[in-house]
Structure 1
Amino acid sequence: MDNKYKKLLKCIALDAIGMSTLAIPGIGAFLDAVWAPIAASISYKMFGNKRGKYTSLITFIEELLPGTDVVPSFTIFCILFDFIGLGKDDKVRNAVTDVDYTETR
């Protein structure tokens, strides 16, 4: 199985964990408060330094806000970055171009 499909399965599982707090009335909000920083940390590590800064913040807020547990943020980020390739152009734009030059003294 390709690595991006393994990552997608991990993301679906992480989203299922985040959504499972809806099934526990009463303490679901407490569990969201516990899960939010854990999910943010996993998101940061999973999507790298540059993207992870944004994904972790969005994931943290999404897990804390009431009614947003149904949003599969890990899966959305995985599809955007690994399957669609969002953000791949940044590497091309920031790449150093080999240029011939003549040094003058």
Structure 2
Amino acid sequence: MNKYKKLTLSIILDALGFVSIIFPPFDIVWAPASALIMTKLYKGKEGKVAAVVSFVEEALPFLDIIPTFTLMWLYSYVFKRNEETIIEV
């Protein structure tokens, strides 16, 4: 998947997480679903760690404002790339 399509999807998924602010029982369904989606979008150890963070963030009240999917995209395509560039130099 193109990294910008993944960014768009991440923003949409983060917005979907805001539904629980209006309808709190949505978290019962969304917390495990977001964890599963996170592992599908981001592979490897980082994806698994992000899935756990996403599950906890969505399951606990008042943390829904954290854009977990978008933060993971930033880590994968901005911060991790810069880290690799610094190491190569």
Q: TM-score, normalised by structure 2?
A: 0.84
Structure of larger gyration radius: 1
The number of residues matched between the two structures is: 85
Show structure 1 runs of 4+ deviating over 4 A: none
Opposite residue 21 of structure 1, the aligned amino acid is S
2:2 is matched with which residue? 3
Task: Output the aligned Cα RMSD.
Answer: 2.1
Sequence identity, in percent?
Answer: 37
Partner Cα separation in structure 2 for residue 66 and residue 21 of structure 1: 9
- Partner AA of 1:83 in structure 2: V
Q: Which has the higher helix share?
A: 2
Calculate the TM-score normalised by the size of structure 1.
0.72
List runs of 5+ in structure 1 lacking aligned partners.
93-105
Where structure 2 has 5 or more consecutive residues not aligned to the other structure, the ranges are none
Task: Determine the C-alpha separation between the residues in 2 that align with 1:66 and 1:23.
Answer: 12
Q: Tell me the distance in 1 between the aligned counterparts of 2:3 and 2:44.
A: 18
